Structure 1
Amino acid sequence: MIDFANIALTRLIRLRRLMAEPVVDVTPEVEQAPPFFMVWRPSGKPPMKCHTARDVAEGEAERVARLNPGHDVFVLAPATRVRAQMVEREDFGQAHPLGCLCPTCDQIPF
Structure 2
Amino acid sequence: MASPRWIVLKFGGTSVSTLPRWETIARIIRDRLAEGLRPVVVCSALSGISNALDRLLAEAMAGRGEAALEGIRKPHLELGRAMGWTLKPCCALTLKSWSASRWAQRCCAR
* Short-chain TM bin: under 0.3
The structure carrying a bigger strand percent of its residues is 2
TM-score, L = length of structure 2:
0.22
TM-score, L = length of structure 1:
0.22
Which of structures 1 and 2 has the larger relative contact order (alpha carbons within 8 angstroms, sep 6+)? 1
Q: Which protein is bigger by CA-based radius of gyration?
A: 1
The structure carrying a bigger helix percent of its residues is 2
